Amino acid sequence: MKQLTFFILLISSFFLASCSLFELDNYDAPAETLWGEVVDVATGERVLTDQGSEGIRVRLIETSWGDNVVPNPDFFCMPDGTFQHTKLFKGRYNVQVDGPFIPLLREDERGVPLADETKDIDIEGVTKVRFEVQPFLKVEWVEEPRVSNGKIQAKVRVTRAVSESEFREKIEPMGGYSSSFQNMTDIQLFVSYSATVGYRARDERWSSAIEYSGSSFNSLFGEAITIESNGTIPSGRIVFIRAAARINYDTPRGSGTRRWNYSEPIEVMVP
């Protein structure tokens, strides 16, 4: 009798457990939207970037459940310096962006906070956020590019968007400071059939670069630099170009990723 009772209880437990496997998930699908932009605090202009892991990184940490949480998967800004995520759960989040600008979250070598300019926001419906940052460089065209025999020749001006003294003032307390951090390392001319031209959307046949060692570029800040595309672009084609420049400093610190500051894209007709 006892064995029969035990058997019946065992079977009942099995069926109850089986039924729970087929219960519907009562949670709503994530449907909240975060839209943001990253702008130069001095000019109000958006910080142009690349749509990839070398561009401006966006990191979300949902803090609704407490402090010991892991970040959502990182995503990246669009080339125009805006970003959007349309599949988020309603809740409170810490939002951080990392790019070619003074880090918003700065800590010393012991992890003690020096500055925290990240944002804590409640995301519900369509939520907008604006980050005002200090870009490392400003990259701009000096004149319209010239095209001859399938080659594009462009003139670019690179200036410091944050002074050397202020850069040092904010970065040195983080530890391990080197004067080489502010050295310009390269100027790129990216060429592509795509309007989203950049490092991730470039044609390697025609894109080119000028590299600089040490502080050799220092005297060239503010000067017009001529850079020419590689190879021969077929006639009758429309391509897009962007210039980019970067310094010898990775963001976030220790990531090994040195991010470019970009110019506006230009459409070029190759006759």
Within-domain flag for 169: yes
Q: For the chain, how many structural domains are there in total?
A: 2
Residue 67 is predicted with a pLDDT of: 66
Residue 224 and residue 266 share a domain: yes
Residue 223 and residue 110 share a domain: no
- Three-class secondary structure of residue 21 per DSSP: helix
Residue 40 and residue 90 share a domain: yes
Cβ atoms 242, 266 nearer than 8 A: yes
Domain end call among 106, 133, 160: 133
pLDDT at 125 over 90: yes
Residue 237 and residue 192 share a domain: yes
Within-domain flag for 40: yes
Residue 54 and residue 73 share a domain: yes
Residue 167 and residue 116 share a domain: no
The whole-number average pLDDT for the span 120-133 is 97
Within-domain flag for 13: no
Domain end call among 64, 99, 133: 133
Q: How confident is the model at residue 71 (pLDDT cuts 50, 70, 90)?
A: confident
pLDDT at 246 over 70: yes
Domain end call among 88, 109, 133: 133
Percent of the chain surpassing pLDDT 70: 89
- Look up the CATH number of the domain holding residue 195: 2.60.40.2060
Residue 95 and residue 156 share a domain: no
- List beta partners, residue 36: 83, 129
Residue 49 and residue 162 share a domain: no
Residue 174 and residue 125 share a domain: no
What does pLDDT average to over the chain? 91
Residue 55 and residue 152 share a domain: no
| Structural domain that includes position 223 | 137-270
Q: How confident is the model at residue 223 (pLDDT cuts 50, 70, 90)?
A: very high
**How far out from the chain centre does Cα 145 lie?**
27
Cis bond leading into 135, ω under 30°? no
Residue 204 and residue 87 share a domain: no
pLDDT at 18 over 90: no
